Amino acid sequence: MASQAVASALQQVEGAPVGEKPAQYTSLLQHITASSTNPAADLNAYAQALLDDSIGIVVLRPLLAAFVDAFRTIKNPDDKIEVGERVITLLQSKGAGQYEEQDTQIKHALADAFEQNDDYRRSAQTLATINLESTQKSVSADDKAKVWIRIVRCYLEVDDPTSAFTHLNKIKNILFNVQDKETKLMFQLSQARILDSQRSFLDAAQAYYSMSNELIIHEDERLSFLGKAIICTVLAPAGPQRGRMLAKLYKDDRASQADDFAILEKIFLDRLLSPAEIKAFASKLEAHHLAKTADGSTVLDKAILEHNLLGASKLYNNIGFDQLGELLGIDAEKAEDYAAKMLEQGRLAGYIDQIDRLIFFEGEASGERKTGHAERVVGNELRKWDANIAGLAEEVEKVASAIQNQYPDFYASQVVH
């Protein structure tokens, strides 16, 4: 409830002549701003009286603008939220379209208050109600993008990448018209964070790596983005695509400064990782990096297991299910299942002999999904046979040339004319 002084003053303003009301409203607002002990209640009462008054739009707009300035000075976020929500409701009943500028400013300030209280979802929801397709003035692509990127970042704070992605797509449609470099960088960063949250780790790694090369960003932050790119690459599915990203990161001159360079190097060189190294790496990860997958393992467990499986393919021509399971620290059936999926997806080259319970490895994977297993195996065997014959023919030719050089007379006598 408003203070007695404010309530009395509002009654006096209500009965005053129309020409005197603007000055009296202005004076009362200054008094509330300067000395009110309960600004939320007093400003609510003031806004109610102001918007219920019959003064015209031309007079009301500057009074509302002054009210917005006073509203911004409220320091207590709870008070600001109480007043802001009340005024927005009053403006809607009055016809917010007539006061779009004031409505927008109040919503921005209200979003600030929600963020002060760490209520990022309500901040995003409030910002989403701002009319960016105004009929009163043209809203630039930069202004639209700034609102939407703030909404995206709020949703990311509450780990809601789905809602964040919806608003990120709005920015994509106007990004070519956005001039502000910082907004574009925030778009890139938000895109990387969303891809990371959605476990599209290779795409996230590429986005983080691009951010790490932006010279406008401070060097420490660029190194931080490089570290994030390394983490996402380690967590990505093992295979040729990840291999290319690993090579790009490993060859970067800054990589040796990153905290996780040691694990990057081991994975790039196809070395097996020890449990101690995996545990140390896991301690730095975020919650979604350690989320459980369908088979009960974490994203990290799966990534390391696939890496070690790929590493094993470099060490062995073939290996039994039981031996592979022992090497990977899982049972034989699970080892076979992981190998089969990687073979099918083209992330591992080879084939499985289920009768002898063996996995045969065949060099580098193509990255393409496998089709026609029997046809592929036969084709490989024929190519090996052709290569062996060609090799034997070359060796015979080398021997013949050596005999000709060493014993030309003997060679000439053996040649049939």
pLDDT surpassing 90 at residue 224: yes
Specify the CATH number for the domain of residue 71: 1.25.10.10
Average pLDDT score, the chain: 85
User: Does 175 fall in a domain?
Assistant: no
User: Does 183 fall in a domain?
Assistant: no
| Least confident span in 253-262, 377-386, 389-398, 402-411 | 377-386
Boundary-marking domain end, from 132, 167, 192: 132
Q: How sure is the predictor about 228, in pLDDT bands with cuts at 50, 70 and 90? A: very high
CA distance 236 to 398: 48
pLDDT surpassing 90 at residue 149: yes
Q: How sure is the predictor about 187, in pLDDT bands with cuts at 50, 70 and 90? A: very high
Q: Taking a C-beta distance cutoff of 8 angstroms, is the pair 22, 63 a contact?
A: yes
Boundary-marking domain end, from 109, 132, 155: 132
Indicate the pTM of the whole model.
Answer: 0.72
Boundary-marking domain end, from 100, 132, 164: 132
pLDDT surpassing 70 at residue 179: yes
User: Does 89 fall in a domain?
Assistant: yes
Residue 415's pLDDT is 65
pLDDT tens profile 111-128: 999 999 999 999 999 999
User: Does 27 fall in a domain?
Assistant: yes
Q: How sure is the predictor about 374, in pLDDT bands with cuts at 50, 70 and 90? A: very low
User: Does 92 fall in a domain?
Assistant: yes
- For residues 49-76, give the mean pLDDT: 87
CA distance 44 to 80: 10
User: Does 236 fall in a domain?
Assistant: no
User: Does 33 fall in a domain?
Assistant: yes
pLDDT surpassing 70 at residue 334: yes
Q: How sure is the predictor about 296, in pLDDT bands with cuts at 50, 70 and 90? A: confident
User: Closest by alpha carbon to 167, among 226, 104, 123, 109?
Assistant: 123
CA distance 314 to 294: 28
User: Does 37 fall in a domain?
Assistant: yes
What is the 3 state secondary structure string of the chain?
CCCHHHHHHHHHHHHCCHHHHHHHHHHHHHHHHHHCCCHHHHHHHHHHHHHHCCCCHHHHHHHHHHHHHHHHCCCCHHHHHHHHHHHHHHHHHHCHHHHHHHHHHHHHHHHHHHHHCCCHHHHHHHHHCCCCCCCCCCCCHHHHHHHHHHHHHHHHHCCCHHHHHHHHHHHHCCHHHCCCHHHHHHHHHHHHHHHHHCCCHHHHHHHHHHHHCCCCCCHHHHHHHHHHHHHHHHHCCCCHHHHHHHHHHHCCCCHHHCCCHHHHHHHHCCCCCCHHHHHHHHCCCCHHHHCECCCCCEHHHHHHHHHHHHHHHHHCCEEEHHHHHHHHCCCHHHHHHHHHHHHHCCCCCEEEECCCCEEEECCCCCCCCCCCHHHHHHHHHHHHHHHHHHHHHHHHHHHHHHHHHHCHHHHHHHCCC
Residue 384's pLDDT is 65
How many separate domains does the chain show? Answer: 2
pLDDT surpassing 70 at residue 377: no
Q: Which domain holds residue 380?
A: 376-417
